[in-house]
Amino acid sequence: MRQLLVINPNTSASVSALLQTHVQQAVGLHVQVRTVTARFGSPYIADEASYAVASHAALDAWAAALADGDTAPDAVLIGCFGDPGLMALRESSPVPVTGLAEAAFIEAARHGRYAIVTGGERWGPMLQRLAQALGQAQQLAGIHTVAPTGAELAANPTAARALLAQACRDASRQLGVQAVILGGAGLAGMAAAVQAEVPIPVIDSVVAGAHWALRSAPMPPVRTTAGFHVTWQGLSMEMTSLCPAPERRSG
């Protein structure tokens, strides 16, 4: 049976539970999903500082999962729409790695130009920068952020559905796109709930990430074994154990 490691780079156990449920449903019973939660950081990633900490937390959670697991995963999914730590983890992992945003970008681009709808106003420039780094800037027509964060939207699904459906319709009408991504781990399952009210395909970033895990990685891993290229000081035991052995000096 294939093994998929899902990393929640924030500290919210409820988000991890949501990821576990929706990713497992999307991949089916022939894939074993294991979701791990960041051991430090913020319960919700909402700005540049929490994003930077989440990148470290994602690497730490990955290293801890490798140390605790009996079986190495066949793929890794970063369960955050923003993919903190994606490039660093891809460089360090011998198996395919993606995040919710990258997987959703790839899925949406199959339909043509697309827009993003997500919660949290500060995510706009952060997602624009990520799209540029992933070569998706031309396909991404615009980003529509609603004021409530993903956590706040998940806490009130009825109100969230109406707000997000309207935001998706606005993006479709104003930007003339062929698809819209409803991005965020906390919004898992919401795309299916609003699809009937939106005239274009609505991409669920969590489902897109799960489906990606069943396919090949968009970029091959750099390493053949798990580990880092440099040594650390003051970081977790699990991260340190994946560092290269220090060089011994003679005489």
Residue 221: per-residue pLDDT: 63
Q: Name the pLDDT band for 243 (thresholds 50, 70, 90).
A: very high
Number of Cβ within 10 Å of residue 23's Cβ equals: 26
Does pLDDT of 30 surpass 50? yes
Does pLDDT of 161 surpass 60? yes
Distance separating alpha carbons of residues 5 and 75, to the nearest angstrom: 6
Identify which has the larger pLDDT, 109 or 249: 109
Residue 72: per-residue pLDDT: 85
Tens of pLDDT, residues 72-111: 899 999 999 999 999 999 999 999 999 999 999 999 999 9
Cα distances from 237 to residues 26, 64, 175, in angstroms, run: 34, 9, 48
Residue 120: per-residue pLDDT: 84
Residue 251: per-residue pLDDT: 44
Q: Which residues pair with 37 in a beta bridge?
A: 8
Phi and psi angles of residue 126, each rounded to the nearest 5 degrees, phi first: -65, -40
Q: Of the given ranges (137-141, 168-172, 219-223), which has the lowest mean pLDDT?
A: 219-223
Q: Of the given ranges (9-18, 59-68, 140-149, 198-207), which has the lowest mean pLDDT?
A: 140-149
Does pLDDT of 220 surpass 80? no
Average pLDDT, the chain: 92
The two structure tokens encoding residue 100: 């919710």
Residue 224: per-residue pLDDT: 75
CATH architecture designation of domain 101-205 = 3-Layer(aba) Sandwich (3.40)
Taking the C-alpha atoms of 60, 86, 149 and 156 in order, what is their torsion angle to the nearest 10 degrees? -80
Q: Which residues pair with 35 in a beta bridge?
A: 6
Q: Which helix (H) or strand (E) element contains residue 38?
A: none
Residue 219: per-residue pLDDT: 56
Does pLDDT of 54 surpass 90? yes
Domain borders along the chain are 2-99+212-241, 101-205
Verdict on whether the full-model pTM lies above 0.85:
yes
**CA end-to-end span of the chain:** 51
* Concatenated DSSP letters of 75-86: EEEE-STT-TTH
Cα distances from 216 to residues 183, 188, 221, in angstroms, run: 22, 23, 11
Q: Say yes or no: domain 2-99+212-241 is CATH 3.40.50.12500.
A: yes
Distance separating alpha carbons of residues 63 and 30, to the nearest angstrom: 25
Which residues, 6 or more positions from 178, have their beta carbon under 8 angstroms from its beta carbon?
Answer: 111, 112, 113, 114, 200, 201
Q: How far is CA 92 from the centre of its chain?
A: 17
- Mean pLDDT on 165-172: 95
Residue 247: per-residue pLDDT: 55
With a pLDDT cut of 70, the percent of the chain lying above it is: 94
